[in-house]
Chain A
């Protein structure tokens, strides 16, 4: 196996809490046994892995990188902030009701440590996801959110992973483990962002979401990293009977961004809603590989991903729905739509259905289009200048998904961020952002 992660592998073995040793060893063995994907690896054939051509180094655990001007959403509830993989207590606060606990692996007591070791890796298939094995092999800290049965968290739990952009070839390990007890409810927001200062960083992140019977999780994962930030990671969810997962994803592009999303329905009556937006531009790339595993009968899933790809950027979307032989009465739908705003932009989209049961409803569709000239013209006949019309159409393409974000402070953070993404100047976003005040006026 390539040695581009040699230093973090060695460093983790020295600095990880002793109780994690077995987990690290398991990860190391799987990582060593696998080989780095290349253009001939089907699931990786469109990824440009050039960003991994250098050797990465985990930052010293006593370092305190300056964070400069990195903006991330400010949400009520609990927030844990990590910078270059290191916990930042002064930026974090925990506010949880009884019946919920938020702990870092590095400070776990014996009982918690044994819970974590029992749960880690139960939602993710490391034989299939080799970078999840790498994540285990370089694990030194992580976050464990545990919600007891019937407990409802009214406020979100926000996990912020920043890369400072200082130093070259910084390796960052991110790990989240969420366990929701039966009939509990929670909202979890994961935000990744960087100071786009030119320093290279490689984040290898894995989040495991374990939903108990009847549990409900609203989950958001925002990949706001840009520029030289490389990220390979994913979310692996396991859904027990009658549980509901609503998972929203957003990715701006960067040098390398490969996100795997896997939701496994393990109990009857589970429902998963997976929505996402990706917006690479310049020479950036974004890759979402999603996989919905329907392993048992009577489950439903609905998935909508939309991408706007500009300049010379590349997007990859692979949406797999796997309906196992026993999974009768499954309803699964998948839609992926792409808007190319430049002649040199590229998208590779592939819905992939594997159905081994005979009594299921399954629908999928993928489209790739350029901005409709007639729509643009229609707006212009009403006096809207061309550049503003283009911004309105682009934003309109993803608006529906943004409106579906239930966490209001998060939606308020995203709207201007996204509107500005399409506009060269502030003025072009004014009508999009004004909408709320128009809605609110009761004239």
Chain B
């Protein structure tokens, strides 16, 4: 699914990723943990092609295709989805218009049949109920005036509508209360299948109680310094990161 080799990246002339390697197979869920400033969010942004994030060495392929030279929207068409830690507010652009534009663009690029307005609305309303977001939010500006939890649910809604191959969730759990966390976990678990992979970037082991990962990685100093199974998350919760950083 995703293969990252020796990825180096810089932001504002500061090197953040310094030789990151990661391989994810279809159907796997990988959790990435690590101290503040270690490069976790940068990884997601680099893969999504955010302006200002410059790759200086290494490669990343999604489904066998080099994505680092692709336009951002082409990566999305291929199946990459980044759920933002801080989703962007776009006043004046209705959430519905935005969602329909995304779905149409992605379906068109994948050679799928266009979806008519009525079926789309039906599906959007169903999903908004599944993620516990009042369908009235569909008519509001994208994320405009949404609370932190509502924004995260809106990200989840987009993910469910777009049906990506690889979902990167950047601290989706931060700022969520327990009920909202369960809604997100339920959504992710419902989407899990043999062909779809997930990268969960998180600070807290708690999320992993609800979404059980196949692998847990520790990212520190721009590299993955330790990988393990879900028990590694528990160990980190108990011992912190210092012992690993010292060892590395």
List residues of chain A with CB under 8 Å of any chain B CB: 373-375, 377-386, 388, 392-393, 395-400, 431-432, 434-435, 437-439, 441, 443
Establish whether residues A431 and B73, one from each chain, have CB atoms under 8 Å apart when the complex forms: no
- The digit string for B88-125, where 1 denotes a CB below 8 A from any CB of A, is 10111110111011101110010000000111111001
Establish whether residues A383 and B118, one from each chain, have CB atoms under 8 Å apart when the complex forms: no
Complex-state Cα separation, A435 to B73, whole angstroms = 22
Complex-state Cα separation, A393 to B158, whole angstroms = 18
| Contact partners of A396 in chain B: CB under 8 A | 90-93, 141
Establish whether residues A381 and B72, one from each chain, have CB atoms under 8 Å apart when the complex forms: yes
Establish whether residues A375 and B101, one from each chain, have CB atoms under 8 Å apart when the complex forms: no
Complex-state Cα separation, A398 to B120, whole angstroms = 26
B51 within 8 A of A: yes
Measured between C-beta atoms, what is the minimum distance from A208 to chain B in Å?
Answer: 33
Q: Which of B76-84, B174-182, B183-191, B210-218 interfaces with chain A?
A: B76-84
Establish whether residues A379 and B90, one from each chain, have CB atoms under 8 Å apart when the complex forms: yes
Establish whether residues A398 and B92, one from each chain, have CB atoms under 8 Å apart when the complex forms: yes
Sample of 28 A–B contacts (CB below 8 Å): A374-B88, A375-B90, A377-B48, A379-B98, A379-B102, A380-B49, A381-B49, A381-B75, A382-B76, A382-B98, A383-B76, A383-B77, A383-B106, A385-B105, A388-B105, A393-B90, A399-B92, A399-B93, A400-B91, A400-B92, A431-B97, A434-B97, A435-B96, A438-B96, A438-B120, A441-B117, A443-B118, A443-B122
CB nearest neighbor in A for B75: A381
Given the known inter-chain contacts A377-B50, A379-B90, A431-B104, please indicate yes or no for A443 contacting B125, CB distance below 8 A: yes
Establish whether residues B72 and A432, one from each chain, have CB atoms under 8 Å apart when the complex forms: no
Query: Could you tell me the dominant secondary structure of chain B's interface residues?
Result: helix
| Contact partners of A435 in chain B: CB under 8 A | 94, 96-97
Question: Which of A384, A439, A441 has a CB less than 8 Å from the CB of B105?
Answer: A384
Query: Could you tell me the dominant secondary structure of chain A's interface residues?
Result: helix
Q: Other than A382-B105, A441-B121, give 10 A-B pairs with Cβ distance below 8 A.
A: A375-B90, A378-B88, A381-B49, A382-B106, A382-B158, A384-B101, A386-B71, A396-B90, A399-B93, A431-B101
Most central of B49, B98, B106 by chain A CB within 10 Å: B98
B162 within 8 A of A: yes
Complex-state Cα separation, A379 to B82, whole angstroms = 11
| Contact partners of A388 in chain B: CB under 8 A | 101, 105
Question: Which of B84, B90, B91, B97 has a CB less than 8 Å from the CB of A438?
Answer: B97
Complex-state Cα separation, A392 to B51, whole angstroms = 19
B87 within 8 A of A: yes
Establish whether residues B139 and A380, one from each chain, have CB atoms under 8 Å apart when the complex forms: no
Measured between C-beta atoms, what is the minimum distance from B17 to chain A in Å?
Answer: 19
Most central of A378, A392, A432 by chain B CB within 10 Å: A378
Complex-state Cα separation, A439 to B96, whole angstroms = 9
| Contact partners of A383 in chain B: CB under 8 A | 73, 76-77, 102, 105-106, 109, 162
Establish whether residues A382 and B91, one from each chain, have CB atoms under 8 Å apart when the complex forms: no
Complex-state Cα separation, A362 to B162, whole angstroms = 46
Establish whether residues A377 and B72, one from each chain, have CB atoms under 8 Å apart when the complex forms: yes
Complex-state Cα separation, A385 to B105, whole angstroms = 7
Establish whether residues A380 and B91, one from each chain, have CB atoms under 8 Å apart when the complex forms: no
Given the known inter-chain contacts A392-B97, A438-B121, please indicate yes or no for A382 contacting B102, CB distance below 8 A: yes
CB nearest neighbor in A for B104: A431
Most central of B71, B92, B100 by chain A CB within 10 Å: B92
CB nearest neighbor in B for A394: B92
| Contact partners of B93 in chain A: CB under 8 A | 392-393, 395-396, 399
Kindly list the 4 A-B residue pairs having the minimum CB-CB distance in the complex, ordered from nearest: A396-B92, A443-B122, A383-B76, A396-B93
- The digit string for B226-241, where 1 denotes a CB below 8 A from any CB of A, is 0000000000000000
| Contact partners of B73 in chain A: CB under 8 A | 380-381, 383-386
Complex-state Cα separation, A408 to B60, whole angstroms = 51
Complex-state Cα separation, A378 to B98, whole angstroms = 11
| Contact partners of A378 in chain B: CB under 8 A | 84, 87-88, 90
Establish whether residues A431 and B100, one from each chain, have CB atoms under 8 Å apart when the complex forms: yes
| Contact partners of A431 in chain B: CB under 8 A | 97-98, 100-101, 104
- The digit string for B135-166, where 1 denotes a CB below 8 A from any CB of A, is 00001010000000000000000100010000
| Contact partners of B81 in chain A: CB under 8 A | 381
Complex-state Cα separation, A435 to B158, whole angstroms = 17
Complex-state Cα separation, A272 to B98, whole angstroms = 34
Establish whether residues A395 and B90, one from each chain, have CB atoms under 8 Å apart when the complex forms: no
Measured between C-beta atoms, what is the minimum distance from A202 to chain B in Å?
Answer: 35
CB nearest neighbor in A for B123: A443
CB nearest neighbor in B for A373: B51
Most central of B73, B88, B101 by chain A CB within 10 Å: B101
| Contact partners of B119 in chain A: CB under 8 A | 443
Establish whether residues B118 and A441, one from each chain, have CB atoms under 8 Å apart when the complex forms: yes
Establish whether residues A392 and B118, one from each chain, have CB atoms under 8 Å apart when the complex forms: no
Measured between C-beta atoms, what is the minimum distance from A27 to chain B in Å?
Answer: 43
| Contact partners of B50 in chain A: CB under 8 A | 374, 377
Establish whether residues A438 and B117, one from each chain, have CB atoms under 8 Å apart when the complex forms: yes
Most central of B75, B76, B81 by chain A CB within 10 Å: B76
Establish whether residues B51 and A377, one from each chain, have CB atoms under 8 Å apart when the complex forms: yes
Establish whether residues A392 and B91, one from each chain, have CB atoms under 8 Å apart when the complex forms: no
Complex-state Cα separation, A384 to B88, whole angstroms = 15
